[in-house]
Structure 1
Amino acid sequence: MNNLVFLPGASGNIQFWNPLIAQIPEPYTKQVIAYPGFHGVAAHPDINSFDDLTDYVVAQIQQPSILIAQSMGGIFAIAATLQKTDLVKGLVLMATSGGINLDPFQVQDWRQAYQQEYLQYPDWFITAKVDYEAQLAHIQQQVLLLWGDQDLISPVAVGQHLHHILKNSELYVIQGGEHNFAEQYASEVAIYVNDFIKQF
């Protein structure tokens, strides 16, 4: 039985996943990765850049796993898939950039409001520029893409772009879903996720 690894978004709030996890069958082991220095988790002396945090997250994946990622967590999920291809069996990406350039998509800039809400978070997290676009076509794993049709931070067009690049992907759109739809519409999201993970 594969391990399910949950990666939260930029807030680092691991409770975000609780409504969805509650609707996933018991046989799966569930691992929620917290980010040191975020959402009440103690900082780590060796994490001083976005690359450091990426390395930390990837290092937590040590067994065959399906990664389930929200927003910024999707960047870590892509990094893990590229670095630990044999361990990552499948991907569920929700409302993420996946490490592509969002400039062409007219997205709402989340960074200023985020900085005001999370004053204690490091600046390098806000300013990081990550570009995995050229490597995405190499990903062979099955990918479930879930997007909300009311999401201004990662619009459906971003999901469509990733669907085009990722060879073995399926895209579904949650009606009425904003950026936090995985929490907001956990019952509907669980239907897609449970159907996806059954194949592994």
Structure 2
Amino acid sequence: MDYYCSAMKILGINVHYEVYKHNPHNPTIVLIHGFLSSSFCYRKIIPILQEDFTLVTIDLPPFGKTEKSTNFVHSYSNMAKVVIQLVERLNIKKAYLVGHSMGGQVSLNAAKQRPDLFEKVALLCSSGYMKGVHPSLKLGSYFPYFYLGIKHWLARQGVLKNLYNVVHDRSLIDQEMMDGYMEPFLDDKIFRALNRMIRDHEGDLSSEELKLIEQPSLLLWGNEDKVVPVHIGERLKKDLPNSTFFSFKQTGHLVPEERPEHVSEKIASFFYQAT
């Protein structure tokens, strides 16, 4: 199998990505992670899917190993442009999208912008119907040391507390998992970039916009999701015109970690279905 990781300059920043290619004739899946996460969240489904698909993972700015810039506009629309430009420059003509949490909104934005490039979308506990950041928070982001408040808040939460919130079966949490989710926050530049992200956040796509996305979409949820409750998935099912919904019992927000085999099976069968 051909595997490589690299960085590509897109919209002025170095974007980290990884490619897993077993067979050049396999269809391509682009995997997009969520907020405060990275491509690490897909570590359990990559080994399962890589035999039948070419996989491309992206660390969205300012997360993972991607450059943490205060000049980049951290809107979902702009993140979708990063995904689109990366896919185009890798000479991929058609691809499928998988987006977890915030990555679901980025995926929907990319599908909306380029329906010719992305044939199907799988949404894993996708963010949905969130409004833009409150004006007072946006105003705060212009103060010089506001980013220190973000850093303090995240430090007070701690990686273990955050994982408790996103995983239903806490026995899955081990040192490797804690280290993997903590790693991007060892670089202090991320907090300044998150400050910029607050300023740029435009909110999720509206019902009216969702109804215009015609690509087939698969919605996978955890019944015990505390971050994006299952009713959000059921509402998305109603708004996305060509969608299928499935939920897993005794499962939280981090479905790729908790149900890797089941999630991979659902994704593979969905993407291989004739449209």
CA distance in 2, matches of 1:42, 1:49: 12
CA distance in 1, matches of 2:107, 2:245: 17
CA deviation after TM superposition for structure 1 residue 160, in Å: 0.3
Native 8 Å contact 1:47 1:53 kept in 2? no
Native 8 Å contact 1:12 1:35 kept in 2? no
Pair 1:195–1:102, CA change in 2 (3 A): farther
2:270 is aligned to 196
How many residues align? The count is 191
CA distance in 1, matches of 2:37, 2:84: 15
2:125 is aligned to 95
CA distance in 2, matches of 1:12, 1:197: 25
CA distance in 2, matches of 1:3, 1:186: 19
Matched, 1:15 2:40: yes
**Runs of 4+ with >4 A deviation:** 112-115
With the length of structure 2 as denominator, give the TM-score of the two structures: 0.63
1:4 equivalent among 5, 29, 34? 29
1:187 is aligned to 261
2:196 is aligned to 124
2:65 equivalent among 33, 40, 57? 40
Structure 2: tracts of 5 or more residues without a match: 1-25, 133-149, 156-184
Pair 1:198–1:159, CA change in 2 (3 A): same
Pair 1:168–1:61, CA change in 2 (3 A): same
Q: Which moved more, 1:190-199 or 1:50-59?
A: 50-59
CA deviation after TM superposition for structure 1 residue 130, in Å: 1.8
Matched, 1:158 2:184: no
Matched, 1:60 2:86: yes
Native 8 Å contact 1:150 1:175 kept in 2? yes
Native 8 Å contact 2:224 2:252 kept in 1? yes
Pair 1:142–1:53, CA change in 2 (3 A): closer
Paired-residue identity, %: 23
With the length of structure 1 as denominator, give the TM-score of the two structures: 0.84
Say which SS state the counterpart of residue 60 (structure 1) adopts.
helix
1:86-132, CA deviations, whole angstroms, 9 ceiling, x for partnerless residues? 1110000011124x2379xxxxxxxx899515573322334623242
RMSD of aligned Cα (Å): 2.5
Say which SS state the counterpart of residue 245 (structure 2) adopts.
strand
CA distance in 2, matches of 1:3, 1:153: 29
Greater per-residue helix proportion: 2
CA distance in 2, matches of 1:158, 1:195: 23
